Structure 1
Amino acid sequence: MYFCYADDSGANDARTLTGLLVPEDGWNDLLHCWLEGRRALEDTWAVPKNYELHANELIKGRGRPCPTPEQNNAFSRPARRAAHDLMMRHLARCESLRVMTVAGRTAQVPTIYQSFVNHLETWALRQDTRVVILYDGQAGPHDTGSLTPAQAQEAWQQAVRNAKPYRDHHRGLPLASRRVLEDPIMQDSRFSQFIQAADMVGYAAFHHLVGKHPDIWPKLTPARGMSKAYRRLSDHWLEDHGDEGIVWTDDQHGA
């Protein structure tokens, strides 16, 4: 069985969704590789291991993750790109890791998610395995102490409603043959190292596509270094599944 940590990216009327697939017996190795990267990140630029890595903020120079003003000033944009690349290199050390991105010309993330699940179903059938998806999103309120009982109940109900489009597609899969098991498990990226990893890889995959398809994103300039960072995971792209680990939901473009 595989765990799939997934996050979406994109802009305008085209979106992507990236999944990091790790078999159950490779989970410890993936965590070890990622945490080794986090330790190197802290040793080099003083970014704490528990600081949430969000690729868009990291690459664009937003936020001040370091403990002191001097360290934050040293954590310049070139340093941030190097930090992103460092984390990609550490992910690539996990031999059992597999990476897949689905892209499509739509602004609707649930539409991309449906295609993503369908492709995972096909892949898992070929591999004779099963997959559980952990997706970026809030499962409910994290601190109900400051809420009234009515506010806490509404927050939980809102989280359930937000997950409905994704949950419905899982439940629409043929029961006798489905390979994607259970409902999607929503995990807040603040508390999940692997959702943060999916965000970092997904950001690189998206900007890799921006550079290859200026017709789709004519007003966007790809972030420097992201295509190189994405290619560091080339040995982990799903075999026989799209070009460069990327599958389009239509036939208008190849990745």
Structure 2
Amino acid sequence: MATKLFYLDDSGTVDTGFIVYGWLEIDIIHWAPALRCWLDFRKKLYSDVRIPADFEIHSTHFINGRDKPSLDPAWNRSKANRGQAAQEALGAAAAMPGTRFGAAYRRTTKTGPAYGAERTVVYEATLRHLDQQLAQDDDHGIIVMDGDGSDPSYQREHRKLKLATRRIVEDPWFSGSDTNQPVQVADLLAYTAYQTVLKHPGKTFMWQWWDQQLPMATLLEV
């Protein structure tokens, strides 16, 4: 029996109709070496392209050319540089020991508040998938979600799980991606999964990242 940490973040927009939740799963006994592996990558990234280790890699901004991640202005002006760094980040995540990866997604035509309600449905499906996976493995898990906890829908979905049989313990723990490195990894996973299923013509370079970098990862339509 093991305890798993699931770091979750979301992606997708109402304009495309996609809703995606990506997760990084870490066996708690491997938490320190997994984090060390990622921090070594961040150290190398600073050495190679001058992106400080405490700079938040927020995929939507980073890959699309927003912000100024590098201390080298010339590097910042190249979207190709950013795409290469993001792909290297995904490879570094894949090398983290004791980890598994996954994403769940749905495409909807709903808009406005109905789209928000659909996001809750997708989170519920993601939560139940992870809970069932833990039950099959005879493990328990804790979810660490990007955010500040101001959206009560996440807690409500956790409390719908049957207490006698649930393997996800507690409500979700919230931590902002700006200060939490594993949550930044989850953000990268969610955005990569999003681009995998969206197949935006301007992001063809990302279409195969999921299959190439994370061949054993789960990509689940719910």
d(CA) in 2 for partners of 1:222, 1:129: 41
- The letter of the residue matching 2:170 is E
Question: Partners in 1 of 2:75 and 2:205 — Cα distance?
Answer: 22
What are the equivalent positions in structure 2 for 1:49-198 lying under 5 Å apart? 49-73=53-77, 76-106=78-108, 107-108=115-116, 109-139=119-149, 159=150, 162=151, 164-198=152-186
Separation in 2, partners of 1:30, 1:229: 21
RMSD across aligned positions (CA): 1.5
Q: How many angstroms apart in 1 are the aligned matches of 2:25 and 2:179?
A: 19
Q: What SS is found at the alignment partner of 1:234?
A: coil
1:205–1:226 Cα contact (<8 Å) kept: no
Task: Find 2:52's aligned residue among 48, 72, 79.
Answer: 48
How far apart are 1:222 and its partner, in Å?
5.4
Relative distance call for 1:113 and 1:222 in structure 2 (3 A) is farther
Cα distance in 2 for partners of 1:51, 1:224 equals 26
SS at match of 1:100: strand
Q: Does 1:248 align with 2:221?
A: yes
Q: Deviations over 1:173-216 (max 9, x none)?
A: 111100111001111111100111101111111101112xxxxx
Distance 1:14 1:197 in 2: 20
Asked whether the equivalents of residues 210 and 222 of structure 1 are also in contact (C-alpha less than 8 Å), the reply is no
TM-score with structure 2 setting the length: 0.89
Deviation of residue 29 (structure 1)?
1.8
2:204 aligns with 224
Unaligned runs of 5+ in 1: 140-158, 212-219, 238-244, 250-255
- Cα distance, 1:105 vs. partner? 2.6
Q: Offset at 1:72?
A: 3.1
- Are 1:199 and 2:203 counterparts? no
- The amino acid across from 1:19 in the alignment is W
Partner of residue 111, structure 2: none
How far is the alpha carbon of 1:11 from its aligned partner? Answer: 2.3
SS in 2 for 1:52: coil
Match for 1:230: what amino acid? W
Q: Which has the larger radius of gyration?
A: 1
Letter matched to residue 180 of structure 2: S
SS at match of 1:180: coil
Distance in 2, matches of 1:121 and 1:69, equals 45
Q: Within 2, Cα distance between the matches of 1:14 and 1:70? A: 34
Q: Which structure 2 residue ranges, 5 or more long, are not aligned?
A: 109-114
